[in-house]
Amino acid sequence: ESPDQGLSLLPWDRFSAWLHCVCVVGFDLELGQAVEVIYPPHSKLTDKEKTNICYLSFPDSNSGCLGDTQFCFRFRRSPGRKVSLCCFLDQLDRDLPVYLKKDSAYYYGYVYFRQVRDKSLKRGYFQKSLVLISKLPYVHLFRTMLKQIAPEYFEKSEAFLEAVCSDIDRWPPPVPGKVLQLPIMGVIMKLRIPTYRDKPGTTPIVQNMHQADAQISMALPTVHEVDLFRCFCPVFFHIQMLWELVLLGEPLVVMAPSPAESSETVLALVSCISPLKYCSDFRPYFTIHDSEFKEYTTRTQAPPSVILGVTNPFFAKTLQHWPHIIRIGDIKLPGEVPKQVKVKKLKNLKTLDSKPGVYTSYKPYLNKDEEIIKQLQKGVQQKRPTEAQSVILRRYFLELTESFIIPLERYVASLMPLQKCISPWKSPPQLRQFSQDDFMKTLEKAGPQLTSGLKGDWIGLYRHFLKSPNFDGWFRSRQKEMTQKLEALHLEALCNENLVFWSQKHTEVETVDLVLKLKNKLLQADREHLPVQTETLKKLQTHINDIILALPDDLQDILLKTGT
């Protein structure tokens, strides 16, 4: 069934499934940066959200971004906002891989900024940003879309924006796993949103169809991935150490010359531990005006577990006490092989014009994998396309993450009670407690050495990981899945019992109690989307009806009215 069947969509509902709103941010001599237009006009943004959008939609003045620049940012939503369409979108969210599930506490802003000389304006420059605000982390999709519409918008203004938004309001919902066709101003974008069932590391290809009509179509190879190789090129020799730092949720700052480079690098870092979800906060572009600036830069406590992308030289002073700093020059694709770069000492990082590199005193737990470095260097010498280099790098990170997580998956699966412990007449059994010592003991025989040739202190890496927000987030979602599985098995066990026969041997009070419990079970299965076959639910409903029909009439009336 397609999720939009039987859903009466109101105007702007389809638009809201993809975007919260579109903003235009301009520069006013009196006010500075200001939101000039919000579309659709009924979209709600709090003053704090507007202020954040204003400052995050323009590069810092020192970035000197002339011409057109694209980047993205992420900011906290103001609490207490009602969400329409919620259950419909949650249904779609369930089918996504964990790292693409939306985080309702944050919005993304996707920016197309234009700065060109214009003598007719007082400042001598035209400066404007077109910004898409969305809860979806589909960086590549929105970047492609802005490339299509922003240049034309700067020429044509408001009416054009209205037409763009009404196009988006005709899009199908963002259903994972289906090939979607999204028309936008005469072009059709074809794409497929991944599902949690996809094998990690595979991307089903969306074919470009030859269309008979006048519409041009473009197939997007991905909705969310960035060009990994280009982003990691400046810190090429440290990819494995950076993977460890991201995995462990260590505080990281990326200092870059422009928001385009800072945002791409932060997104590349967050994605390098996929299919694990990075569970801490990350800001692809962060400014001194950000509402969390004080909270994140205070020296009164240790730096928080976040990844910040910054471009303002002021941060070189403010964040001097941070333990890991990545300094990136202009991202150019290497014509020659990058030179071997040592990790630099933090005390050498005085200013933003310090040399590019990684500044940290962190000692990696794992030995360096020289193989991947050689493979990528060879690619540079042979002028291998950057897309191919990114595929190699993404596969390398995936294999590393999977080698690390498989032993944990295996141990956590062993915490599940045996199926024979599930009795229809008792509450479902509890999961056994996670014991760090028991887990560590499993590593000797069933550790990462089964899938990875890398040597090093894996035990130390696990110990550190078990204290991190990423472990906490991963374990909670596993716990939730397994508890739901137990509830589902319990439901199936109930279905396989002869409940009518049971009720005939018990008192009316006990039978009524059973009916109410079973009705609750059905409601829970629906509310929590338990992994139960529709047949099982139908069977249970039949059991309930049969039990009720065997009761006296007055009780039947009451029970048929309750809990429907």
User: What distance in Å separates the CA atoms of residue 44 and residue 81, rounded to the nearest whole number?
Assistant: 9
Q: CA triplet 221, 227, 229: central angle to 5 degrees?
A: 130
Residue linked to tokens 């990350």: 282
More reliable by pLDDT, 7 or 454:
454
Look at residue 3 in the predicted model and tell me its pLDDT: 46
Number of CB atoms found within 10 A of residue 136's CB: 24
Look at residue 549 in the predicted model and tell me its pLDDT: 84
pLDDT over 90 for what percent of the chain? 48
More reliable by pLDDT, 87 or 158:
158
More reliable by pLDDT, 243 or 64:
243
DSSP string, 492-541: HHHHTS-HHHHHHTS-HHHHHHHHHHHHHHHHHHHHTT-S--HHHHHHHH
Q: How confident is the model at residue 338 (pLDDT cuts 50, 70, 90)?
A: low
Kindly tell me the burial class for residue 424, based on how many C-beta atoms sit within 10 Å of its own C-beta (0-12, 13-18, 19 or more).
middle
456-476 mean pLDDT: 95
537-558 mean pLDDT: 84
**Which of left, alpha, beta for 80 (phi over 0: left; psi -120 to 50: alpha)?**
left
User: What distance in Å separates the CA atoms of residue 319 and residue 311, rounded to the nearest whole number?
Assistant: 12
Is residue 366 within 8 Å of residue 458, measured between CB atoms? yes
Q: How far is CA 108 from the centre of its chain?
A: 10
User: What distance in Å separates the CA atoms of residue 433 and residue 486, rounded to the nearest whole number?
Assistant: 15
Number of CB atoms found within 10 A of residue 525's CB: 19
Question: What is the DSSP code (8-state) at residue 313?
Answer: T
Q: Which phi and psi angles does 435 have, rounded to 5°?
A: -115, 120
pLDDT at 210 over 60: no
Look at residue 496 in the predicted model and tell me its pLDDT: 85
Q: Provide the residue ranges of all domains of the chain, joining segments of one domain with +.
A: 14-165, 411-479, 498-562
pLDDT at 320 over 90: no
Question: What is the DSSP code (8-state) at residue 216?
Answer: E
Residue pLDDT, tens place only, 9-21? 678 888 999 999 9
Residue pLDDT, tens place only, 247-269? 999 999 999 999 999 999 999 99
Look at residue 509 in the predicted model and tell me its pLDDT: 86
342-364 mean pLDDT: 72
Q: How confident is the model at residue 82 (pLDDT cuts 50, 70, 90)?
A: low
Look at residue 562 in the predicted model and tell me its pLDDT: 62
pLDDT at 342 over 80: no
Q: How confident is the model at residue 400 (pLDDT cuts 50, 70, 90)?
A: very high
DSSP string, 399-431: HHHHHHHHHHHHHHHTTSPPGGG--TTSPPPPP
Look at residue 85 in the predicted model and tell me its pLDDT: 52
Q: How confident is the model at residue 2 (pLDDT cuts 50, 70, 90)?
A: very low
Of 376, 388, 369, the residue nearest 336 (C-alpha): 376
| Contacts with 65 (C-beta within 8 Å, 6 or more apart), sequence order | 59, 113, 115, 258, 259, 260
Whole-number average pLDDT of the chain? 86
Is residue 257 within 8 Å of residue 315, measured between CB atoms? no
| Contacts with 286 (C-beta within 8 Å, 6 or more apart), sequence order | 73, 293, 296, 308, 309, 310
**What 3-state DSSP class applies to 184?**
strand
316-328 mean pLDDT: 88
Q: Which phi and psi angles does 434 have, rounded to 5°?
A: -75, 125
Is residue 390 within 8 Å of residue 271, measured between CB atoms? no
Residue pLDDT, tens place only, 219-235? 888 999 999 998 998 88
Look at residue 480 in the predicted model and tell me its pLDDT: 92
81-101 mean pLDDT: 73
Look at residue 83 in the predicted model and tell me its pLDDT: 54
Kindly tell me the burial class for residue 155, based on how many C-beta atoms sit within 10 Å of its own C-beta (0-12, 13-18, 19 or more).
exposed
Q: How confident is the model at residue 325 (pLDDT cuts 50, 70, 90)?
A: very high
Look at residue 63 in the predicted model and tell me its pLDDT: 65
Is residue 211 within 8 Å of residue 237, measured between CB atoms? no
Question: What is the DSSP code (8-state) at residue 78?
Answer: P
Look at residue 429 in the predicted model and tell me its pLDDT: 87
Q: For the whole model, what pTM was predicted?
A: 0.89
| Contacts with 267 (C-beta within 8 Å, 6 or more apart), sequence order | 72, 139, 226, 231, 284
Residue linked to tokens 């638009």: 15
Residue pLDDT, tens place only, 470-511? 999 999 999 999 999 999 998 888 888 888 888 888 888 888
Look at residue 5 in the predicted model and tell me its pLDDT: 47
pLDDT at 217 over 80: yes
Using the Cα atoms of residue 330, residue 332, residue 335 and residue 341 in order, give the sign of their dihedral: positive
Residue pLDDT, tens place only, 12-56? 888 999 999 999 999 877 778 889 999 998 899 999 999 999 999
Look at residue 349 in the predicted model and tell me its pLDDT: 56
Question: Edge-to-edge strands of the sheet including 357-360?
Answer: 281-283, 306-310, 252-255, 324-327, 357-360
pLDDT at 547 over 60: yes
CATH of 14-165, one of 3.30.420.40, 3.30.450.200, 3.40.50.720, 3.30.2350.10: 3.30.450.200
User: What distance in Å separates the CA atoms of residue 487 and residue 467, rounded to the nearest whole number?
Assistant: 29
Q: How confident is the model at residue 341 (pLDDT cuts 50, 70, 90)?
A: low
